[in-house]
Amino acid sequence: MSKIHNFSAGPSILNQDVLKKASEAVVNFNNLNLSILEISHRSKDFVAVMDNAVALVKELLEVPQGYSVLFLQGGASTGFLKTILNFMKENGNGAYLNTGAWSKKALKEAEKLGSLTVVASSEDKNFNYIPKGFSVPDNTDYLHITTNNTIFGTQIKNIPTQENTLLIADMSSDIFSRKINVSDYAMIYAGAQKNMGPAGTTLYIVKDELLGNTGRTIPTMLDLTTHITKGSMFNTPPVYPIYVSMLTLEWLKANGGIEWIEKINQEKADLLYNEIDSNPLFEGTAAKEDRSNMNVTFVLTDESKKAVFDSMWKEVGISGINGHRDVGGYRASIYNAMPIESIQVLVDTMKKLIN
């Protein structure tokens, strides 16, 4: 079988050694002669997986005291709801920075469950930039941001921390890709399936002392306090996605952690953006200063080359680079597990396309 270069936006590429270990555990986990899929989540072998996954998140992201790390279900899309129910006061207001399709889905939930203020939006230019220099009104309970806009290929480079405003971030598509300052945030959440593991679990990092202040009645499963009290084991956790996430975080740690991957991610992004900028047949779609290091969006300057280019990249085993329907063109998702060699294959293919 020839090698596939997997640029899928999500679910997306996982490290090959991680996949191998994960597949072995399906048949025989920890030499128990049992599958990880058929043991109790309360067994000591699985509890050790959960503890290790939580410890790795804390270590890799230098999570300070006073924050809880949770592995829950429901996807980042349930995080939109949990944000409101756990942080927006009964008659309160949430501030939202509208930078793309996921931000918009997050703020739509606030429309349903409370009230909101859109502090700035880049919708006027099809979300191809990150608005800056906005202010957040005093009467809001939090500011919600999407740190990386998976569909539109933009990324917030300077986190807009505001005095006296709780910051909540959807980091689904760039968590563990660069250094972050957890103490800037009231809550961070991220679906696993972009940069941490397979679909099926969502990571929450939440500052404990901020919970329980909304005056709302929160359904048990949506109340973060439930899950903090029970160590993510209030109900059956998604054992396998947590296990594969743990393996991925072990891989990250063994290679040098966030400092290591951030440098590589920069090299990878530079390699591809340099080709986009120097090759007259291609053009980036995002404002240069806001370009994502995770999702690289670009278009052909001459649409008549599309059929030729598409057959060229398919020929060399590239997969998953068709752009999202809202942007068109191409999107190369170059998450942590994507080796630079695969990006070189894409760049070489772009160079071969001639006028």
Ligand X SMILES: *Cc1c(COP(=O)(O)O)cnc(C)c1O
Catalytically annotated residues: 102, 170, 194
- Whichever of 176 and 282 has its CB closer to ligand X, that residue is 176
Report how far residue 182's alpha carbon sits from residue 64's, in angstroms, rounded to the nearest whole number.
Answer: 7
- Strands (E) across the chain are located at 5-6, 67-72, 93-98, 115-121, 142-146, 148-149, 154-155, 167-170, 187-191, 202-207, 282-284, 295-300, 318-319, 330-333
Question: Does residue number 197 form part of the binding site for ligand X (CB under 6 A)?
Answer: no
Instruction: Pick the stretch among 39-47, 73-81, 240-248, 309-317 that binds ligand X (CB under 6 A).
Output: 73-81
- The rounded distance, in Å, linking the Cα atoms of 355 and 302 is 9
Q: Which residues of 266-298 are buried (b: 16+ CB within 10 A; e: fewer)?
A: eebbebbbebbeebebbebbbeeebbbbbbbbb
Residue 95: phi, psi to the nearest 5? -95, 135
Nearest approach in angstroms of CB 183 to ligand X is 22
By the rule CB under 6 A, 172 interacts with ligand X: yes
**Segment contacting ligand X (CB under 6 A): 36-44, 87-95, 166-174, 220-228?**
166-174
Q: Among 71-79, 117-125, 219-227, 270-278, which window interacts with ligand X (CB under 6 A)?
A: 71-79
297 scored as a contact of ligand X (CB under 6 A): no
Query: Among 12, 68, 86, 150, which residue interacts with ligand X (rule: CB under 6 A)?
Result: 150
d(CA 103, CA 97): 7
Site for ligand X in 176-195 (CB under 6 A): 191, 194
Q: Smallest Cα–Cα separation from 166: which of 95, 230, 112, 62?
A: 95
Q: What is the Cα Rg of the chain in Å?
A: 21
Beta bridge partners of 95: 117, 143
Quote the DSSP letter at residue 259: H
With respect to ligand X, which residue has the nearer C-beta, 173 or 214? 173
Q: Which is nearer to ligand X, 50 or 175 (CB)?
A: 175
CA atoms of 106 and 84, how far apart (whole Å): 9
Instruction: Work out how close the CB of 148 gets to ligand X at its nearest, in angstroms, rounded to a whole number.
Output: 6
Choose, by CB under 6 A, the member of 43, 77, 93, 279 that binds ligand X: 77
Q: What is the DSSP letter of 45?
A: H
Residue 23 Cβ vs ligand X, minimum distance, rounded to whole Å: 23
Residue closer to ligand X, measured from CB, 154 or 172: 172
Query: Quick check: 282 and 162 in contact, CB under 8 A?
Result: no
**Among the candidate windows 59-67, 70-78, 112-120, 317-325, which touches ligand X by CB under 6 A?**
70-78
Please select the residue that binds ligand X; options are 71, 102, 129, 282, rule is CB under 6 A.
Answer: 102
Which residue of the chain is nearest ligand X when measured via CB?
75
Among 8, 146, 201, 232, binds ligand X (CB under 6 A): 146
The two beta strands, 142-146 and 93-98, are parallel
Which residues contribute to the site for ligand X (CB under 6 A)? 10, 75-77, 102, 146, 150, 170, 172-173, 191, 194
